[in-house]
Chain A
């Protein structure tokens, strides 16, 4: 692998994404992408006693599912990178405590899935044969940790986003027939001073812009190199801002750009305001929908940019602004 520009790595022997899996909750199952997910749950608790246990079970079963689908033995998986939104990433570590694979817990807020894929790609390029990545989020556990109790009778502003319940998982392998991870652009932390925890899309959009433009500059590519440029969870407002800001910098992404948070729910019937969010937003929409599109060769060149808001409830109560991050990988056939 070699470094391109300041933030991009190009892989000499691009690793293959061997298989993906996704499990989603009932609201996502009512959304437009339902048929692409491996499993849709009828119940947010999935037979567990707490939201946290339910989320752990979701990531555990998603990982079991990706291993089963891939046809490889879990003994041949060298490393696992996983993360989520709950304090100390407990969904991942509790869900995967019996998995028996060397484990790295990672946190990149909602950018975790692509952070995991990036690290997996670097590991497969050097020492590993197969690397597993996973990321999860759960609407109920996220509301409980970051906002209010579920039964509280409050109103959500139009800028608010809906945390996706689910998990996405992928296995990256050294030698395969594609889809290949060809480059990765690791994002910098960008903070433009947005403090409203109900305006995450706007808080993360400058980070997405920074990574997007850096990727183009480092690789010499232009927006129309890609069949699709997809961000993780900017939602409707963040998507609108990113298109606008990219245009001001001379990059027109309007025709081939979309956002997982926009795609996963039907805004008009599902009352999800500015769209979906959470680690599982990018995780499930990529693992479910986009991986399917890549396999069917409907999309041949994809730039996936997962966005994260690096904040917690303490910092927002202390009046701190929300630092954003965005990590990109290009996936090509």
Chain B
């Protein structure tokens, strides 16, 4: 490095980037892949069991969600889910398990500020943006469907 890295903020940022170790991307991707795959496989097994009991797809899907959310919330309460999340990253974050964790963990953390302003008020601090933009996106998609779909749409 010829010039002083403190000459400009940009120089310093480049210098710091060079000094900072990167996350182990390959290892993280691998762990995310197999843990995420495992969670989805568990979901599929539950789905198949439901189907074998004669339940339709929609009910089976709901049961899968309920069970995975339940397990994730339970493991969050036992101080286990954060360890899985640290290991698997997006593998446990992206499935519905991560969503459950993102709601239960602030609820636990802010219980000290009371059930109304603490648990109630802060429960969605992490998941809030997912809900806001998820619901907003579904409304926009719904309007597009309504406008461009030529067939009769059953609205209820």
Contacts and interface: CB of A to CB of B under 8 A. Distances in A.
Q: How big is chain B's contact interface, by range? A: 35 or more
Contact of B105 (A152, A193, A194, A202): A152
A220 interface: no
B23 to A, nearest CB: 6
A183 to B, nearest CB: 25
Interface stretch (B48-56, B82-90, B133-141, B148-156): B82-90
Nearest to A271: B86
Interface in B4-26: 4-6, 9-10, 12-13, 15-16, 19-23
A192 B4 CA distance: 13
A149 B119 CA distance: 12
A327 B79 CA distance: 38
Interface stretch (A99-107, A113-121, A237-245, A257-265): A237-245
A192 B85 contact: no
B20 A152 contact: no
Contacts, number: 97
B36 interface: no
A153 B19 contact: no
Contacts of A244: 19
Contact of B81 (A49, A52, A144, A151): A151
A16 interface: no
A157 interface: yes
A255 B82 CA distance: 39
Given A202-B19, A206-B6, A206-B12, A155 B112 contact: no
Contacts of B79: 151
Contact of B28 (A150, A155, A237): A155
A199 interface: yes
A127 interface: no
Contacts of A315: none
Contact of A158 (B9, B23, B76, B89): B23
Contact of B89 (A152, A155, A237): A155
A256 interface: no
A50 interface: yes
Nearest to B93: A153
Contact of A193 (B12, B20, B76, B86): B12
Interface string B108-119: 111010000000
Interface string B93-131: 100001001101110111010000000000000100000
B19 A240 contact: yes
Contacts of B93: 153-154
Nearest to B10: A193
Given A151-B82, A155-B85, A192 B6 contact: yes
Contact of B6 (A49, A158, A245): A245
Nearest to A156: B86
Contacts of A202: 16, 19-20
A148 B86 CA distance: 13
Contacts of A209: 6
28 contacts: A148-B105, A149-B108, A149-B110, A150-B105, A150-B109, A151-B76, A151-B82, A151-B101, A151-B105, A152-B101, A152-B105, A153-B76, A153-B82, A153-B93, A154-B85, A155-B89, A157-B23, A158-B21, A159-B20, A192-B9, A193-B9, A193-B12, A199-B20, A202-B20, A237-B20, A241-B15, A244-B19, A245-B6
In the complex, the 6 A-B pairs of residues with the closest C-beta atoms, listed nearest first: A153-B85, A193-B9, A149-B109, A151-B105, A149-B105, A50-B112
Given A152-B85, A193-B9, 13 more contacts: A148-B105, A149-B109, A151-B81, A151-B101, A152-B126, A153-B82, A153-B85, A154-B93, A155-B85, A194-B13, A202-B16, A237-B20, A241-B19
